Structure 1
Amino acid sequence: MIWFALAFLSVIALGLVMPPLLRRPQPANHARDLAVYRDQLKELEADLERGVISAAEAEAARTEIKRRILAVPLAAAPSQSAPSRAAAIAVASAVVAVSLATYLTLGRPTLPSSFFEAKAEREATADEMLAEINQMVERLAAKLKAQPNDAQGWRMLGWSYVQLGRVKEGIDALARAVTLDPENAALRAQYGEALVQDAGGNVTPDALAAFDEALKHDAKDPRARFYKGLSLVQSGKEREALDLWTQVIREAPADADWLPGLRAQAQELATKLKRDPKVTVPQ
């Protein structure tokens, strides 16, 4: 059903938007974001050389900074003012609430206007909004006890758990979804991404296996290909990673939201490898 697909995609979009909004203030533009993160990478390397941090700590921090670089085009605010945490959660709450409410209404494609009016009329705190989201997630969990073969429901529940910081529960739910829909490449890639998040940004063997399975079903899945590249970086095969990422960039739709972030990360890697990023990375 179209309405369900849209609702589900809203939750997936939230997965890309909500964590950056809650983690940090938003710069006015992408360039400023990227400049900040590049400086952080330089400072990180300097700390490593001085022995302030260990190689393992540096790798974990480096991975997190690079993940934030990827999130820049999705998280950056269009206005000059940075949104507050409450405002960020208000946006996130609306996306999750509408998505889950639509799913939980047993086929009703839209919500009454009073739902939105009630939201607009009151100034709910961030904690109240999160409480509402948690309640709706628990309703979905209860629904799945009665309908345990609903792969899309488990997928929605899993990704919602991940965004709420309940990563291990999210992994379990996504694993159920994969069992029910094993040929879904995007689902396998999301499951792998949750494993990476649970491992602090490290592409574990289990996560890598999930990405490999995703690519068996869809050799062009961008999420799986990105993390395959990240795995290569983490194993010291940076040239192979750069080759893979540049191929993904070359084949990506010009309007892909994630493209600017991946291009910036590939350029960073090209510079590290002493290659001209403007020549190496497709523009």
Structure 2
Amino acid sequence: MINLTIVLALIAIIASVAVVFPWLRKKHVLQLDQKRQTELYAEKLADIQADLTSGNIDEQAAQAAKDDLKIQLASELALNHSGHGKGFNPKLLWLLPVVTLVIAFSIYRIQGKPEQMIQFYQAKENTPAFGQKLLSGDQNFTTEELQQFYIGLRHQLSQKPNDAVGWLLLGRVAYSNGELTNAIAAFEHSIKLDGSNISALLSYGQVLVATNDETYLKKAANVYLKVLQQSPQESEALAMAGYVALQLDDMESATQYWRFALKLLPENDSRRLVMARTIPVLAEEFNIDISSSAMPQNHPATADHPVSEQKTQDANANQILVSFQLSDETQARLSEFKYLVVFARPALAGPPAAVVKIDLDKYFPTQVKLSDDNAMMPNFNLSSLTSAHVTVRLSKDADVSKSEGEIEYNSEKLELSNNTALNILL
């Protein structure tokens, strides 16, 4: 802020000088004109006196000539003075820098610039700490912190444009803010600087998938293929490559990718169940009981297990409790549907950060809880988001895409916390 004040003061002084200098120059020219007129008057007066002395004119004519000369000089001096500015006090000109500075600061404050500058300096100061926090795996950022982090990273990268990690962080922050275009550009810049960074490639693929655009989905498929060429046992790349293949209606490739992923994922990884339920042939192949999906807390199945045996959640982890009510029309059609699918994602497109799929042959829940346990990817879960849209679908089959006649509800954007609640009427 001090530097900014100095800059504004200098601008005010420069502007004032630009205004005052022409006036001072004009004043100087006027003084020269008055001096020349006075000198000319003295010369003419001397000529009249010389003519009188030599007898060329008499006393009366000489006096008349002197009077005319005085009137002419007085008239010219008065004309110059009036043209310079009658009644103007030159001392007031020195108030111009002060007035200019006051006006500049007023406009600056009206536009909210001081607050923006304060935010900028705070962002600049907090950027290193935010970077360490993100790199350590802690993704619990508030919306304000993400905005500060984004601003700070942009400034940092303007100073160090070849910082591949900086561009990677910028892309992740932009993605968390829902700025997909900026995220894509940042990841591409990072990969251009360091094409072997698997973390950058995975993040790039993730944001490409989030666009839900076929062109970007095909590009994402190539990105995950590049990752697998470098690291064939990268389970996250296998999981996402399978998801992309499903979105592109390539069931054969999706099955192959997820088959390899299931061989690598630990038995307690929640993604195994999601994959098995999406492609039932994998459930048989890997002996996964798809009937034992994550049950809502109010379902009788959860009562059979003591609380100590249930997987505990971080108290600060983001969760969404979705409560349902059915309209008479939906209640009448309920027998048409086989699954209730509930998922959350940062935008109304792209992969979900959490998904629950419930077989309606057994029961229809009144509540479903989405948490980090329902994530497809360990680094892309509800706790990695500050906001999300929830989609609820009554599905007729196991296809991940919406089919004709299915009922789907999309929520407005929700600000996430450890107790986010959503009531839905289907």
TM-score by length of 2: 0.33
Judging by fraction of residues, say which structure has more strand: 2
Looking at both structures, which has the greater relative contact order when contacts are Cα pairs under 8 Å and sequence separation is at least 6?
Answer: 1
When normalised by structure 1's length, the TM-score is 0.49
Which protein has the larger Cα radius of gyration, Structure 1 or Structure 2? 2
